[in-house]
């Protein structure tokens, strides 16, 4: 007669905040949790701490997530999806290969700059310093490389780039960007983002240019 706890939570959220509140609350919880996980690590951020920081009760966290590990994994998965979407639309769009490489570098660093907490968590996991969550990183990385290789291959066909190995070139470009991102994650901001982007694009494109 009284309904389930989940239904009660949903109805309470709708009455108090309006029908768009569930998604807004989920996003707020995710952002707050990412910041706490990045700062304190998985073990240092309890569900109660996250609930308090997000301004919700703990029951709402369990309405959206099965538990802390589910919340943590969800943050990582959404971050990987965002990172793998950086190249979407670039390859098929107009512009030279250099312009597309520049777009990729700018989008990558801009996304990193806006989601530092999530990127820090992902890097921590990839380096084996986190909770050893099984990350679907391989499929995302391979997808990114395939898209980037297509941009480089187009540049070669158009005579803009030398006939380099597209796979090696794509990995070199990613490596050039990631070293700056990793340094910033581990040691704080080292160089201004635009300087990193301009330097990376110039160095890479000079290296593969005819």
Q: What is the pLDDT of residue 71?
A: 92
Q: What is the pLDDT of residue 132?
A: 60
| Predicted confidence (pLDDT) at residue 161 exceeds the cutoff of 90 | yes
Comparing C-alpha atoms, which of 152, 177, 157, 178 is closest to residue 167? 152
Q: What angle do CA 53, 28, 58 make, to 5 degrees?
A: 50
Domain ranges of the chain: 5-65, 74-208
Burial 139-149 (b: 16+ CB within 10 A, else e): ebbeebbebbb
Q: How confident is the model at residue 173 (pLDDT cuts 50, 70, 90)?
A: very high
CATH number (1.20.1530.20, 3.30.420.40, 1.10.357.10, 2.60.40.650) of 74-208 reads 1.10.357.10
99: CB partners within 8 A, 6+ apart = none
CATH number (1.10.1060.10, 1.10.8.420, 1.10.10.60, 1.10.3720.10) of 5-65 reads 1.10.10.60
171: CB partners within 8 A, 6+ apart = 145
Q: How confident is the model at residue 136 (pLDDT cuts 50, 70, 90)?
A: low
| Predicted confidence (pLDDT) at residue 3 exceeds the cutoff of 60 | no
Question: Percent of the chain scored above 90 by pLDDT?
Answer: 30
pLDDT in tens, 29-60: 999 999 999 888 888 899 999 999 998 889 98
Burial 26-39 (b: 16+ CB within 10 A, else e): beebbbbbbbbbbe
Question: Percent of the chain scored above 70 by pLDDT?
Answer: 80
Q: What is the pLDDT of residue 188?
A: 67
| Predicted confidence (pLDDT) at residue 17 exceeds the cutoff of 60 | no
């Amino acid at each position: 007669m009284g309904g389930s706890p989940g239904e009660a939570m949903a109805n309470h959220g709708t009455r108090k905040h309006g029908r768009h509140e569930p998604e807004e609350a989920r996003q707020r919880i995710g952002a707050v949790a990412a910041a706490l996980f990045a700062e304190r690590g998985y073990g240092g951020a309890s569900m109660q701490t996250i609930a308090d920081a997000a301004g919700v009760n703990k029951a709402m966290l369990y309405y959206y997530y099965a538990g802390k590990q589910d919340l943590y994994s969800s943050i990582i998965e959404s971050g990987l999806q965002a990172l793998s979407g950086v190249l979407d639309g670039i390859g098929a769009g107009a512009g030279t290969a250099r312009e597309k490489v520049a777009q990729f570098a700018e989008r990558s660093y801009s996304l990193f700059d806006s989601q530092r907490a999530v990127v820090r968590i992902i890097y921590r996991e990839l380096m084996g310093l986190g909770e050893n969550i099984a990350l679907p990183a391989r499929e995302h990385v391979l997808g990114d490389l395939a898209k980037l290789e297509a941009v480089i291959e187009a540049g070669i066909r158009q005579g803009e780039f030398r006939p380099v190995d597209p796979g090696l070139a794509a990995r070199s470009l990613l490596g050039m960007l990631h070293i700056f991102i990793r340094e910033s994650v581990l040691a704080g901001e080292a160089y201004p983002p635009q300087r990193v982007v301009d330097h990376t694009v110039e160095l890479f494109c000079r290296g593969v240019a005819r």
